[in-house]
């Protein structure tokens, strides 16, 4: 990168499975796309709710190159939780209620991320009567500015298909 380019520092938060080579696999798209690594924080002793390892990567890139890096990470099936402060600048919190365990909560979360473009920052599951009874899950998601209604529509559709109720949104939404 030349000094005349509009280079910014960005932070990318990832979730990686605990297997040899996963960190290298996550860094390759960044290097191949021209990102300049500043630091890596790999929290191997601290697992995410999905049982993965959180990794925070600080890098420098132009805004255009940063978008390419995020796209390359996703194309490599790397779970991107958060990517730069400009990309995910809003937060949405919803609660799903119903037979979450029976309808495969992991699949539901994956569907929401894929259909909506939102990034699930965290979730909390409550199943006080066991996995065969109704349960609830609070989802906290990061999204691009102005995309809240689109994301809520995707969540409503997925929840409807699985006969789940949606309590939405908890907090402010940009409409």
* Residues 102 and 77 reside in one and the same domain: no
62 part of a folded domain: yes
Residue 3 lies in a domain: no
Q: Is residue 157 part of a domain?
A: yes
Task: Dig out the tokens for 137 from the structure.
Answer: 């899950």
Q: Is 175 domain-assigned?
A: no
User: 140 vs 96, 130, 137, CA distance in Å?
Assistant: 11, 23, 10
pLDDT value, residue 175: 46
pLDDT at site 3: 46
> Within this chain, do residues 114 and 159 fall inside the same structural domain, yes or no?
yes
Task: Compute the distance between CA of residue 112 and CA of residue 120 in angstroms, rounded to an integer.
Answer: 9
pLDDT of 117 reads: 73
DSSP 81: E
- Does the pTM exceed 0.75? no
Mean pLDDT per block of 10 residues along the chain (175 residues) reads 68 90 94 90 76 88 93 92 67 91 86 79 85 89 79 93 89 51
Tokens at 119, concatenated? 């990034």
- Domain holding 46: CATH number? 3.30.70.260
Same domain, 78 and 125: no
pLDDT in tens, 53-82: 889 898 889 999 999 999 999 999 998 988
């Amino acid at each position: 990168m030349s000094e005349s380019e509009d280079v910014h520092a960005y932070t990318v938060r990832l979730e990686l499975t605990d297997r040899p080579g996963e960190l290298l696999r996550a860094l390759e798209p960044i290097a191949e796309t021209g990102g300049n690594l500043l630091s890596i924080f790999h929290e191997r002793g601290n697992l995410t709710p999905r049982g993965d390892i959180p990794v925070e990567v600080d890098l420098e890139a132009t805004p255009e190159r940063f978008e390419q890096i995020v796209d390359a990470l996703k194309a490599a099936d790397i779970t991107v939780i958060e990517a730069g402060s400009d990309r995910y600048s809003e937060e949405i919190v919803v609660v799903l209620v119903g037979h979450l365990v029976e309808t495969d909560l992991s699949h539901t979360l994956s569907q929401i991320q894929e259909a909506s473009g939102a990034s699930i920052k965290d979730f909390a599951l409550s199943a006080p009567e066991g996995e065969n009874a109704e349960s609830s899950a609070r989802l906290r998601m990061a999204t691009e500015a102005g995309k809240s209604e689109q994301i809520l529509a995707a969540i409503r559709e997925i929840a409807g298909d699985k006969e789940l109720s949606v309590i939405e949104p908890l907090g402010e939404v940009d409409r």
